Structure formats: C-alpha cells, structure tokens
Amino acid sequence: MRDKIILYSGEDTAGVNISSKLRENHDVTKLLEVSDVLSLEKLKIDPQTLCIVASKHASSSGKPCLTTHSPGNYDTSDYGGNPRQLSFAPALYLQKALQLLDKKQKIKKIGYEVSLEATHHGPTALHNPIMFVEVGSSLKQWNDMSACSIAAETISELMNYSPGKKAKTAIGLGGGHYCRKFSRIKEYAIGHICPKHNLAYLDEYMLDEMITKTVPKPDTVYVEWKGLGKEKKRILGLIEETDLEVERI
C-alpha cells in the first residue's frame, strides 16, 4: 500500500477514544473523522490508500473483545454498503493486526478475547482496501482506555508496517462469527471469511467476490469442516470449480 489513513466516527465512543489515544501517544497525522464509518462510499481518496477504521464492536453478549475484519455483505445490506458485495480485504494487514492485538492484550493482561471476525456490514463499494480494528462489545469496554490504548497502539504500528513479499493469503469458509479457528492459522493471512450462517447465500458470484477482493489474491481456502452444516456438499462443489487449494481445519 502506498499510503494509509485512519478513519473514525465522532458518534462512535470507542472510535473517539481510540483516536484520542492516537493523538496523545502516537505520531499520527493521517486521522480523519467521518460521520458514519459504515457508509464511506463518497470518500474521495487514492484507491491505493489503505483505510484503517477505529471502531466499536457491538454485541448483546457484552463480552470484552478486540477484533479485526474487513467489511462486506453476503446477502442484504442492513448495516451499510450494498447487498451481495464485499470490500477489498488487506489480508496481510489483518493478520498483523490480529498478532499485535493478541500480543498487547497478553502484555497488559486485560482479559479481552482477541479474534478475527467474519466479513460483515458496510462499506462495500470503496475501491480502497479497508479493515476495522474494534473494541467490544458494550459501552463499558468502549470506555475502557486500556483496551482503546491497545487498539491505538496496534493501528499506529499498522501505519508503519510493510508486509513481506513472500506472504501467503487465503479465504475462510464456515464456523461462527468469531473466527477462533481461523485466528489460530499462522501459515496464511486470512482475508474474507464467510461464516456458517451466511453459507446459504454463497454462490459462484459471491465466492468470486471473496477471491478477487482478498488482497493479495489467495491461492488457498480454509474450510472449517464441521462448521459447514447442511451446505457442505454444495460449497465443496463450488470450490472444485476454482483453482484454490483446500485446507481442512
């Protein structure tokens, strides 16, 4: 990526706190406040610029977590973006963010779960690679400045990160929204992930979206074998029509 920019919404408590920590403790100049991080389609920046979104993660569970993922919709667009459209997922940066979040959480011992999330919500129509770094899952965690500091430190390091040229990328199919098995993979950087609850919407077109919009282009698909459910036979048939190597987990 030639350039990188950090985005956050002034309406997002975690985003505001993360951006505050970035300004306080890190030499970050490319920090932009936007009205809604789920709808960035009108943002006019160089398509080669990586967008890193500092954001909250919301869940009714309220569990403390630090997550990262790229946006996209396998079906409807209830939370921004377009239906049946994925963003460009910077797999190597997602992998690095996961590593940094995990390392820093263990050092600070704040007891947060760290994981990749499956691809979900908008924006989807940007030509830029885009990823979210999130603190969750409730107001308590969004205001936890230790957690927001970890997210800020991670984003700051991503701004100075340059991936190696020999890194390998993959996509993931199956499993739950919190991608614990995919998060443990070390050999490949994972881009887009389609969880079990969205596999019914995965057809040839959407599988191609996953492949062509994971950056760099993947040559492997990780399949959570027990997490494919009743869609297993159909999904395996779709994969057979691609050039992807299959790895079972």
Question: Tens digits of per-residue pLDDT, 171-211?
Answer: 999 999 999 999 999 999 999 999 999 999 999 999 999 99
Question: If you count them, how many residues does the chain have?
Answer: 249
Same fold for the domain at 3-159 and the one at 169-248?
no
Please give the full DSSP string across 185-248, using - where no structure is assigned. Answer: --SSEEEEEE-GGGGGG--HHHHHHHHHTEESPPSEEEE-GGG-GGGHHHHHHHHHTSS-EEEE
pLDDT, tens digit, 9 for 90 and up, residues 118-174: 999 999 999 999 999 999 999 999 999 999 999 999 999 999 999 987 789 999 999
Residue 2, pLDDT above cutoff 80? no
Cβ-proximal residues to 159 (8 Å cutoff; 6+ apart), any chain: 4, 6, 28, 30, 52
Angle between the N-to-C axes of helices 204-212 and 232-240, in degrees from 0 to 180, rounded to the nearest 10: 60
User: What is the CATH superfamily name and number for domain 169-248?
Assistant: AF0625-like (3.40.50.10700)
Phi/psi of residue 39, nearest 5 degrees: -135, 80
Query: Rg (Cα) of the chain, in Å, rounded?
Result: 17
The dotted CATH code for 3-159 is 3.40.630.50
How many beta carbons lie within 10 A of that of residue 109, not counting itself? 8
Range scoring the smallest mean pLDDT among 50-54, 68-72, 213-217, 223-227: 223-227
Task: Name which of 227, 184, 235 is nearest 210 in CA terms.
Answer: 235
How many beta carbons lie within 10 A of that of residue 24, not counting itself? 9
Domain boundaries, the chain: 3-159, 169-248
Residue 39: the pLDDT is 87
99: enclosing H helix or E strand: helix 91-108
pLDDT band (50, 70, 90) for residue 27: confident
Cβ-proximal residues to 34 (8 Å cutoff; 6+ apart), any chain: 7, 8, 9, 40, 43
Could you tell me the pTM of the whole model?
0.96
pLDDT, tens digit, 9 for 90 and up, residues 63-115: 999 999 999 999 999 999 999 999 999 999 999 999 999 999 999 999 999 99
Residue scoring higher pLDDT (165 or 6): 6
Joined together, the tokens standing for residue 196 give 């079990």
Cα angle, residue 29 at apex, residues 26 and 31 outer, rounded to 5°: 95
pLDDT band (50, 70, 90) for residue 232: very high
C-beta separation of 172 from 218 below 8 A: no
pLDDT band (50, 70, 90) for residue 28: confident
Residue 1: the pLDDT is 61
